[in-house]
A and B are shown apart, each in its own frame.
Chain A
C-alpha cells in the first residue's frame, strides 16, 4: 500500500492572496468561521451517531451499574449491583471459562496462524488459492458455521464427522459438547476455524515487509531455518504479533455465539457459560439490566488491565 500521509497546508495555499491588509483581516475572519461551519456540517451525521450509539451508552452503562430500576422507578444503590454479581457463583464460573477459552484460543488461534503464514509465504505456487481457502470460513455467517459444527462435526455418536475420523484413525471418540472437559476445546476449534483467516492475511502482509537482506545475512552467517525464524522473522514482526495478541484477547473475552449455539448457552455442567453470555442472561432474561451493566463495566476494567500490561510490555521493548 502506497498510502503516504500528507495532510497539508491547504488552508494557506488554497486562497487567492488578498489585495489589501485591511480586506485581509475581514475576509479571513469571516472565511474562518464559514470554513469551520462547513467542516462541522460534514461531520455532524457521523458525530451524532457516535454520540447517541457509542459515547452516550458508554457513560450510561457506568451510571446504570450504580442504579436499580424497579417498576419504572430508578434509584441509586451504590455498589449493590456489583456485590450481587460477585456473590453469584456463576460469575466466577463464567470468568474461569472465559479465561480458559482465551488461553486455549491464544495457543491455537494465535500461534497456528503465524506458522501458517510463514509457510504460505514460502510457496511460489497456488498462493491465491491457499489464501482464499484460509479466508473463506471468515465470510460465513457465524450462525451457519456453528450449526455445521453442532450437528455434523460434534455429533457425539459415531456418525459425527469428527468421531468418524477419530474412529477411522483408531483413536478414541469423544462426546464433544456433552462432555464438560471437551466443551471448551471444541468451541476453540470451531472458533479458530471460523476466524483464523484474518490473522493469517495480516501476518502475511507483515512478513512481506521484512527486508530480504536480513535473511540473506543470516544465511551467510550459517543460520538454519529455525534460527532465521527466531532471529529474523519474529523480531521483525514483533509489533504486529503484539498487536494481534491484544486484539485476540479482546475478541475472545467477548465469547458469546459459540456457547449460545454449540452449547445452548450454559453447556454441560456450566462448562460453556461465558461472561458475555452472563451479560446477555442478566440483561435480557432475568430482567436485570443494571446487573448486566455492572458486568459490562467489570469486563471493561479487566480489559483495560490487559491493555495497560500490553502497553507496558511493548513500550519496554522499544
Chain B
C-alpha cells in the first residue's frame, strides 16, 4: 500500500501527462472532487445547518442554504430535553468496557492460538470462525433469551453493561486479525524469551504486546465504533431510560420531539465517531483492508 504512487494502473502515467489526457485528467479530477464533496459532505452540512433553522424556515420552499436566524436553542434543547450528557456517558462507558474486555480476552485467545497452540486449538478456532457465517439477526432472539436468563447461573443481564461487553468478546473477526498479526512475529523471539525462563504471560506482556500496538489500536477503534453504531442489541438489552445508548435514546424521543431538535441530537451523537475517524483514519483504513480479505 505504501508504494502505490509508483505502480502502473489502468491508465499509464505517460498518457496522463500528454496533451488531451492531461486535460481530461484534470477536468475529471475537479468534477469528482466537487461531486464527492457535495454527495458525502453536503448531507452533513445540511444536517448541521438544518438543525439551526426554525420550524418555519425548515418548511419553506425552496429551502435556504444558510440558516437566516440561527436557532442555537435547538442544540441546547436537544442536550437538555434528551439528557444527552447521560446518554453520551452511557455510550462512552459501554465503549470503554468493550475495548477493555475485547483487548484482554481476544488478545489472550489469539496469543494462545498463535503461539501456545494447545490441543484442539485449531478446532476451537474453526468453531469461532464459523460464527462469522451466521447473520446477527438469526441469533438475536435466542441471544436475548439467553441474556435474560443465563444458563446454569440463572441471572439476568438486562440493563447491565455486561450484556453489551461479553457478547462483543465473541468476535471471531478480532481474534482472526490478532492471530494473523501474532503469527507474523518471529518464533525466535518467543524461543529466546522462554529460554530466559519467561512465563507465557510475561512473554505476552513484555514482548508480544509492545510489538502489536498497531493491531491493538485497530481492534480498539473497531470496538468503539461498533458500540457507538449498534442499535438493535442495546435497544433490547438496555430497556430502561437510565441505561440507554445515545442512538437508542434519540430514537426513543424522536416521536414526541420537534424534528430539528432530533436532528440536532443526531449531530451531537455523530460527533465522537467523526472525531475518532479524523484522528485515526489511517489506522482504520489499513485495518479494514488488512482484515484478511486477501488471505
Chains A and B bind each other: yes
Q: Is the CB of A212 within 8 A of B200?
A: no
Q: Is the CB of B61 within 8 A of A53?
A: no
Q: Counting chain B CB atoms within 10 Å of each CB, which of A10, A42, A144 scores highest? A: A144
B289, closest chain A residue (CB): A205
Residues of A within 8 A of B89 (CB): none
A142 within 8 A of B: yes
CB of B295 to closest CB in A, whole Å: 9
A20 within 8 A of B: no
Q: Is the CB of B263 within 8 A of A148?
A: yes
CB of A24 to closest CB in B, whole Å: 17
Q: Is the CB of B169 within 8 A of A215?
A: no
Q: Give residues 252-295 of B contacting A (CB, 8 Å).
A: 254, 259, 262-263, 266-267, 269-270, 273-274, 276-278, 281, 284-286, 288-290, 293-294
Residues of B within 8 A of A205 (CB): 1, 289, 293-294
CB of A262 to closest CB in B, whole Å: 12
A53-B183 contact in complex given A46-B175, A147-B262, A164-B63, C-beta closer than 8 Å: no
Measured as residues with beta carbon below 8 angstroms from the partner, the interface class of chain B is 35 or more
CB of B181 to closest CB in A, whole Å: 6
Stretch at the interface among A103-111, A179-187, A288-296: A288-296
Residue from the list B10, B29, B183, B248 in contact with A6, Cβ < 8 A? B183
Q: Is the CB of A283 within 8 A of B200?
A: no
A92 within 8 A of B: no
- For the complex, would chain A's binding face be called helix, strand, loop or mixed by DSSP majority? helix
A43-B124 contact in complex given A13-B187, A123-B32, A130-B32, C-beta closer than 8 Å: yes
Cα of A61 to Cα of B141 in the assembled complex, Å: 7
A94 within 8 A of B: no
Residue from the list A3, A39, A136 in contact with B41, Cβ < 8 A? A136
Residues of A within 8 A of B85 (CB): none
Q: Is the CB of B266 within 8 A of A147?
A: yes
Q: Is the CB of B146 within 8 A of A296?
A: no
A214, closest chain B residue (CB): B8
Q: Is the CB of A5 within 8 A of B9?
A: no
Residues of B within 8 A of A279 (CB): 137, 140-141
Cα of A49 to Cα of B10 in the assembled complex, Å: 47
Q: Is the CB of B266 within 8 A of A143?
A: yes
Cα of A318 to Cα of B58 in the assembled complex, Å: 56
Q: Is the CB of B229 within 8 A of A142?
A: yes
Q: Is the CB of B139 within 8 A of A136?
A: no
Q: Is the CB of A49 within 8 A of B167?
A: yes
**Chain B 180-199 per-residue mask, 1 if CB under 8 angstroms from chain A, else 0:** 11011011101100110000
Residue ranges of B at the interface with A (Cβ–Cβ < 8 Å):
1, 4-5, 7-12, 16, 28-29, 32-33, 36-37, 39-41, 43-44, 46-47, 50, 58-63, 104-106, 108-109, 111-119, 121, 124, 127-128, 131, 133-147, 150-151, 166-167, 169-170, 172, 175, 180-181, 183-184, 186-188, 190-191, 194-195, 200, 204, 225, 228-229, 231-232, 236, 246-248, 250-251, 254, 259, 262-263, 266-267, 269-270, 273-274, 276-278, 281, 284-286, 288-290, 293-294
Contacts A3-B184, A144-B269, A159-B61 aside, 10 further interface pairs with beta carbons under 8 A come to A42-B108, A50-B127, A64-B142, A144-B250, A144-B267, A213-B8, A253-B135, A276-B137, A279-B137, A292-B141
**A-B residue pairs in contact (CB < 8 Å), sample of 10:** A1-B290, A11-B117, A49-B167, A52-B151, A57-B146, A61-B138, A132-B278, A135-B285, A149-B43, A299-B137
Residue ranges of A at the interface with B (Cβ–Cβ < 8 Å):
1-11, 13-16, 35-40, 42-43, 45-47, 49-50, 52-58, 60-61, 64, 118-126, 129-137, 139-145, 147-149, 151-153, 157-161, 164, 167-168, 193, 198, 201-202, 204-210, 212-213, 215-216, 219, 225, 228-229, 232-233, 240, 243, 250, 253-254, 256-257, 261, 275-276, 279-280, 283-284, 289, 292-293, 296-297, 299-300, 303, 307
